[in-house]
Amino acid sequence: MSQTRNVAVIVGSLRKDSYNRKVAEALIAIAPPTLKLRIIEIADLPHFSQDWEANPPQTVVDFRNKIGENDAVLFLTPEYNRSIPGVLKNAVDIASRPYGQGILMGKPAAIASASIGATGGFGASHHLRQVLVNVNMPTLAQPEVYLGTIDKLLDDKGQLSDERTLKFLGKFLAAFEKWINIHLPA
Ligand SMILES: Cc1cc2nc3c(=O)[nH]c(=O)nc-3n(C[C@H](O)[C@H](O)[C@H](O)COP(=O)(O)O)c2cc1C
């Protein structure tokens, strides 16, 4: 039985009916008991400014602390103009500072993207991967999760219940759990 790991889930969409949030909720529902996933909200974060680095707003302090309570981070990203939404980049920038002490540093990460387009957010996923290299987050390579035409995979309750997709996401979580355990002490 592996050790329980806490995973911060960051959803890069503020949209009420976000498909990426629905994927996050599906992942939370199917996660093994040894992976405790919880969404950390980014909607109330201010735009990052280096001016307040020495004395950040309370929302920023709280956000960093919430991430700090977790062993790893799972990112769900939509694709906006072949990249990640500005709100997601802003959240990563906030969590990456102060320089050399960012709370994300060294935490194992995984990325899943979902899009109504056929390419499933491939461009966004790889832009985010590039960002995470600089933040020094070891990021799971396989399986790659680009969920295309996500709007066709929801049931009439608006939930992701497509069996094939859920099975695939289960494999993704299993690989992520192994990845976390490789990178963190027991
Ligand atoms: C500003 C903007 C740019 C977009 N650019 C892309 C794109 O480059 N590729 C793509 O597949 N979908 C693109 N889309 C469509 C998104 O995939 C779609 O809005 C999706 O529902 C967003 O994710 P969400 O449901 O989690 O909010 C774009 C949407 C917006 C609002």
In sequence order, which ranges of the chain are alpha helices (DSSP H)?
Answer: 19-30, 58-68, 86-95, 122-134, 163-183
Residue-averaged pLDDT of the chain: 97
Which residue's CA is the closest to the ligand 1 atom numbered 1?
A: 80
Predicted confidence (pLDDT) per residue in 33-91, tens digit = 999 999 999 999 999 999 998 899 999 999 999 999 999 999 999 999 999 999 999 99
Cα 82-86-101 angle, rounded to 5 deg: 115
pLDDT at 123 over 70: yes
pLDDT of residue 44: 97
Assess contact for 109 and 138: CB atoms under 8 A: yes
pLDDT at 1 over 80: no
pLDDT at 2 over 90: no
CA of 78 to the centre of ligand 1 (A): 6
Predicted confidence (pLDDT) per residue in 129-159, tens digit = 999 999 999 999 999 999 999 999 999 999 9
CA of 80 to the centre of ligand 1 (A): 5
Domains of the chain with CATH codes: 5-183 (3.40.50.360)
CA of 33 to the centre of ligand 1 (A): 32
